[in-house]
Amino acid sequence: MAEQFDKIYHCYDHALNWLEERKELFNPLAYESDHASSDIYLTKALGELGLLCMLYCRSVDGEIDPRIARFLDLISSIWEQADYQERIMRRPEYFQIYTMVYIVLRQCNIIPETNKPLIQRVIDQGYVIATETTPMRMLDRRHMLDCGKFTYSLPAYEDIYHQTLLARSPELAYLTDNDVYAITHTLFYLTDFGRTPSPLLHGEHLAKVQWIIETLLGLYVRRKNWDLVGELLLDCYCLHWYPEVIFDLAWETITQCQLPDGSIPGPRYSQEQLATLDDTASLHYCFEENYHTTIVNALTCFLTYQELKTSANGKPKG
Amino acid sequence: MDSRSLVSEQVRSAGARARDWLVAAQKLEGPDSTLNPRHAFQILVGLWICEQGLIEDQTFACTSAYTHKVCQCIPDDTEEAMEFLYSDPALVLFSLGILRFFDVHSSQIELFATKISELLQEHADQDEEEANELFLVRFLLRRLHLHAPLPAYTLHEMPAGKLIDADDASVSMLVKNIMAATHYGQVTRGMETNFVQTLNSLLPVIMFDYFRTYNLEAGMQILRCMRYLHMYENRSRGAGLHFLLAQQQTDGHFGFLAYELNQLKTTEHLTSPDLHVYLPLTVSFLWTIAETAHPQFVLTQSF
């Protein structure tokens, strides 16, 4: 057991080093770009790094990992730029992506509520909560607004949940990767990333959800898709439930697949393609292909490590 | 009703539709206007599963009526007949069991069964792989009182990390090993091991992986193994059954294989895909659906 804890912690530690060494690549303001899509891509990546920090801070008391502190410094320095803040008002079609940074910094008690009225005004204008989206994205929207303590008018979690793929007990053999992402994210938002047990998940329905997650976890371990393996393991944490055999197997394979530099390979990452690139192109290629998988698995490693260690009555590191 | 049973009206009506298709398939002839004996045996086994395992029609009207036709399909020339019978001994022995159930005698098939029994009783399996490979035939011979009692077969364990990465060949070997080690579900003593727990977790994963890639035969073999390992509580059993039922075409046969048929180059498969492709696949579907929906039914022990 102790050996498994150490492996999980080492995976987190190593992944965090990789992220820190590349933290400037997360800065959407660092590069002059005429392409709105690359700006959005980097802002999304920054938000995901922020989510890692936010969920880390929620789960530890006292001192935080200095690398997390440095990520928060970076995120805070970006937020302080008027150029960044104004994007929330000027480009409300990307409201969630831009506002994520504010929410992270508020949840981590880094910034005051000063900007909240301005953001609330964008919400009150109606557009950002009226745009059409999938039920899983609607849960995401609601969850984010709750984290930011904003007021809004959206259907209840229960009503939205009943429209999701997960609630409708899909046929597993037909699920695409995108369907599985919809399932993993539904559980993230429904449980507030494991913070609150959802009253919607109980009895027979909970057992069915657990079976879906367990089977999909096995399927994606078999397919070596570490991005979805990481998300499905995070779902196990969200449910505070660890399926025998497949859970241990998934951790064993995740720790084995970690690259020597600490990153976890994404689904499209290819060593063969990497070999054809020069140093600069390699740096960007590895970042683009692996940053999300590395963040997800670093987060999952840390949260799982904390929980397992605590439940084993040990003293967690970090 | 047995609590392990998943029998429903849907299963029965799937069986009835498949039976209609098999009855119609009897009229499909090869280029020389005769029904290939292999296809005749497949139809017989398919009808038997429909009536015994799915519809639970104790009159066995269609199977019974078909038994005489099967005997007529076997070539008169003994050498030619033996050559055919040796090409798929398990199918022939299944058919012999069904024929005996209806008191229909075929001297050629009985002769074949006796010969293959002598052959196998004198043969010492060279290794575990060969033993598993020959188990089905030995088991059927035993059911037909033509083989000495079978020994216990060992369930060959492998680490979970190796099992999850198992390729088609390894999965196929595992499946045969499970069939042998459990004697098609008859033996489960001493099976409460960690490895069986691992199988309980990972076999459904591999089954769904095969179904996702539409490798139906491989997925169905795993589903049948779950029955032999008595994994009645596993939710994947019901989900697998549901998936299989959805693969039935409106005329009663199973599988949607137009794409694969277009890739095939042989004229034999292209001119009569119903007999060459869909008939064996449909029998496999019926076998799996019957054993999954109705655990009291095990094809190898049904006659």
pLDDT of chain A along its 318 residues, tens only?
677 889 999 999 999 999 999 999 999 988 765 566 778 888 999 999 999 999 999 999 889 999 999 999 999 999 999 999 999 999 999 999 999 999 999 999 999 999 999 999 999 999 999 999 999 999 999 999 999 999 999 999 999 999 999 999 889 999 999 999 999 999 999 999 999 999 999 999 999 999 999 999 999 999 999 999 999 999 999 999 999 899 999 999 999 999 999 999 999 999 999 999 999 999 999 999 999 999 999 999 999 999 998 888 655 554
Q: How far apart are CA A101 and CA A254, in angstroms?
A: 29
Cβ separation of A221 and B164 shorter than 8 Å?
yes
Q: How far apart are the first and last CA of chain B?
A: 22
Cβ separation of B206 and A173 shorter than 8 Å?
no
Contacts of A174 in chain B (CB under 8 A): 212
Kind plus residue range of the DSSP H or E element containing B256: none
Cβ separation of A245 and B197 shorter than 8 Å?
yes
Which pair of structure tokens corresponds to residue A303? 């949260």
List chain B domain ranges.
9-301
Contacts of B202 in chain A (CB under 8 A): 218, 245-246, 249
ipTM (interface predicted TM): 0.91
Inter-CA distances, A281 with A270, A271, A275, A278, A284, Å: 14, 13, 10, 5, 5
Nearest by CB: A249 against B161, B204, B211: B161
Of residues B266, B269, B280, the one with CA closest to residue B30: B269
| Sign, Cα dihedral of A79, A82, A85, A87 | negative
Cβ separation of A248 and B161 shorter than 8 Å?
no
Q: How far is CA B240 from the centre of its chain?
A: 16
Interface test with B, best of A208, A245, A247 (most B CBs within 10 A): A245
Q: What value does the CA radius of gyration of chain B take, rounded to a whole number of Å?
A: 19
Q: What value does the CA radius of gyration of chain A take, rounded to a whole number of Å?
A: 19
Of residues A46, A87, A114, the one with CA closest to residue A295: A46
A253 Cβ under 8 Å from any chain B Cβ: yes
Cβ separation of B201 and A219 shorter than 8 Å?
no
Chain B's closest residue to A218, CA to CA, is: B205
